Structure 1
Amino acid sequence: MPIYFQQLVQGKYDVKTGDYADDYVSETMRYASVMDTRTETMRLVYGGIRQGSLTAHIQNHYAEDFDRIRVGEKIYTVDFSRKLRTKQSFVLSEVQKNG
């Protein structure tokens, strides 16, 4: 399943207009194995059960800077990441939208 590593990029200053360009989100797609986080893992990471937590595994390591991960239409923050020899895993929690 595709997941998208997102980086929030601030708009650049335009000398001619004196304004900043709009901020935007840069995305990099990787294929991952995505599943609900196991209860034991949630207890280790959060100290209890958390609704909407996912675990994603990618082949190799993701070395670029990123702020969050999008899975489908939902946005997640990385609560825990672990690099293994040939893959990397992420424990994710859904970002709650305001309003």
Structure 2
Amino acid sequence: MRYDTKIYMRTVEPGVYDPVTGNYGVPKISEVEQMAAIQDTGEERMKLLYGKISQGSLTIQLQNHYDDPFDRIRIGEKLYTVDMSRRLRIKQIYVVSEVQE
């Protein structure tokens, strides 16, 4: 299995509230790069997880554990949310689905 795809663990800190205008400032986005092996999620696993076939679902495998908190995973220009996480002895597996922002 090749860990040849760059993924980014994204954390978003909301902007500061401005009471004069009633708006929030620009959020601060920070990303940590990881190398991962990515495959499509199989139909059987999708049926178990979602109860249906879900487009845009991927299975991501990291060679080591990732312990820092994060909000989303970015692969290329697409954002994904974690639906399931499994921590194995030396690896970490995420089943993710695409989100629109």
TM norm. shorter chain > 0.5: yes
CA distance in 2: counterparts of 1:92 and 1:20, whole angstroms: 29
> Using the alignment, how far apart are the partners of 2:65 and 2:12 within structure 1?
20
TM-score normalized by the length of structure 1: 0.85
In the alignment, structure 1 segments of 5+ residues that lack a partner are none
Q: Which runs of 5+ in 2 are unaligned?
A: none
1:71 deviation in Å? 0.6
| Identical-residue share of aligned pairs (%) | 53
The alignment of Structure 1 onto Structure 2 pairs a total of residues equal to 93
In the superposition, the TM-score normalised over structure 2's length comes to 0.83
The corresponding residue for 2:36 is 32
> 1:48: Cα distance to partner?
1.5
5 Å-filtered alignment, 1:43-58, equals 43-58=47-62
Offset of 1:74 from its aligned partner? 0.3
Q: Please tell me the root mean square deviation across aligned C-alpha atoms, in Å.
A: 1.8
